[in-house]
Amino acid sequence: MLLYVFRRLLTAIPTLFVIVTLAFFLIRVAPGGPFNQERGLSPEIKANLEAQFGLNDPLWVQYLHYLKNLAHGDFGPSYNLPDFTVGELFAKGLPISVQLGASALVLALLLGSLLGTVAALNQNKAGDYSVIALATAGSTIPTFVIAPIIQLVFGLTWRLLPIGGWGDGAFVNKIGPVLTLALPQIAIVARLMRGSMIESLHSHHIRTARALGLSDWSVVVKHALRGAVLPIVSFTGPAAAALLTGSIIVETIFAIPGVGRYFVDAALNRDYTLVMGTVVVIAIFTIVFNLIVDIMYAVVDPRVRYD
């Protein structure tokens, strides 16, 4: 198993290298550069700016330079926030996005699994229908609708939560963003769980368990759940990578200083180094979580073995 993990991590290096290379050249294909704006700059001033960031070197020189710095853990300066390096921006923003994303993920997994199980046990009954209705609503109402409603109801009408801001990480400031992030995920998990639980409840080993006279609780929790949870595990990998790296919509509406906004803003601003930083971070998160999922498979399903 350890050998397997080691091998997987080793193959991640060439994967990352390919991703970095592709991203580096792709963003340069986009028209315009970091210093194009409404107020045009004179060619001399633009040249001064580009020289300052080494953008006047041939592209391959810039690429080698970037790779060299990256190998030393240096992501370079941000062009649009030049008082900060990309590393500093991530050091400040990533923990915030991870906190919100992880909370939302845990909430979604717990609540979604619970709702899905309840629905499966009450298949085609009122409980099932209400969960399905909720799940459909949850996954179809976009976050840019949910977020302002939460602000309006909990922030303005009831004055229970702040409208926005991080508030140095105060608990109340996290509730709105976490709920908004979690709601659609709860819906997805609930639907997945319902489906796989129904399937699991109909399988042979559950019939055997029931025939042996095990209690309902024991059948569901000890036996059915284990089989039913596999689709959730595979869902969790990409979902975690996406949630933990922030959401531009949630961060913009709730004015949260996370990194989710950089994915879009950096590309629109042609902030090349910040784009590269976000690509590397997402790639690492995706690789790591896919690995975790594969390991989890082996833990949950004894038939899976990595030798």
Partner 1 sequence: MLKTMLKATVFAATLAVSAGAFQAPAFADVVYNRGSAAEPESLDPHKTSTIYEANVLRDLFQGLVMQDEKANVIPGAAESWTVSDDGTVYTFKLRKDGMWSDGSPVTAEDFVYAFHRLEDPATGAEYASMLYPIKGAEEVNTKKGKPEDMGVKAIDATTLEVTLKAPTPYFLEMLTHQATYPVSKASIDKLGADWVKAGKLVSNGAYTLAEWVPNDHIKLVKNPKFWDADTVKIDTVNYIPTEDRASAIKRFEAGELDSYDDLPTEQLADLQAKFGDQIKVGPYLGTYYYAIKTDKAPWDNVELRNAISMAIDRDFLAEKVWQNSMLPGYSMVPPGIEGYTPALAKYADMPQIDREDEAKKILEKLGYTPEHPLKMEIRYNTSENHKNTAVAIQEQLKPLGVEVTLLNTDTKTHYSFLEQKGNYDVARAGWIADYKDPETFLGISRKASGNNYSDFDNADFEKAMDKAAAAGGNPQERMKDLSEAERVLVDNVGNIPLLYYSYHDIVSPKLHGFVDNVMDVHPSRFISKD
| Contacting positions for partner 1 (CB under 8 A) | 30-45, 48-49, 51-53, 80-84, 89, 92-93, 148, 151-152, 155-156, 159, 162-167, 170-172, 251-258, 261, 268-270
Q: How far is the CB of 141 from partner 1 (least distance, A)?
A: 17
What pairs with residue 85 in β-bridges?
77
145 or 299: CB nearest partner 1 = 145
Least separation, in Å, of the C-beta of 177 and partner 1?
12
Please, which residue, 159 or 303, has the CB nearer to partner 1? 159
Between 219 and 251, CB nearer to partner 1: 251
Query: Which distant-in-sequence residues (6+ apart) come within 8 Å of 111 by Cβ?
Result: 182, 186, 189, 190
Q: Using the minimum distance from each CB to partner 1, give the nearer residue, 32 or 123.
A: 32
The residues, any chain, with a CB within 8 Å of residue 55's CB and separated by 6 or more, are 33, 34, 49, 62
For residue 230, give the nearest of 182, 285, 290, 299 by alpha carbon. 299
C-alpha span between 194 and 118 (Å, rounded): 8
How many secondary structure helices (H) and strands (E) does the chain include?
Answer: 14, 0
* In the complex, minimum distance from the CB of residue 86 to partner 1, in angstroms, rounded to a whole number: 11
Report d(CA 194, CA 217) in Å as an integer.
17
Nearest distance in Å: CB 49, partner 1 = 4
Q: Please tell me the distance from the alpha carbon of residue 99 to that of residue 246, in angstroms, as a whole number.
A: 9
To partner 1, the closest distance from the beta carbon of 294 in angstroms equals 35
Closer of 162 and 277 to partner 1 (Cβ): 162
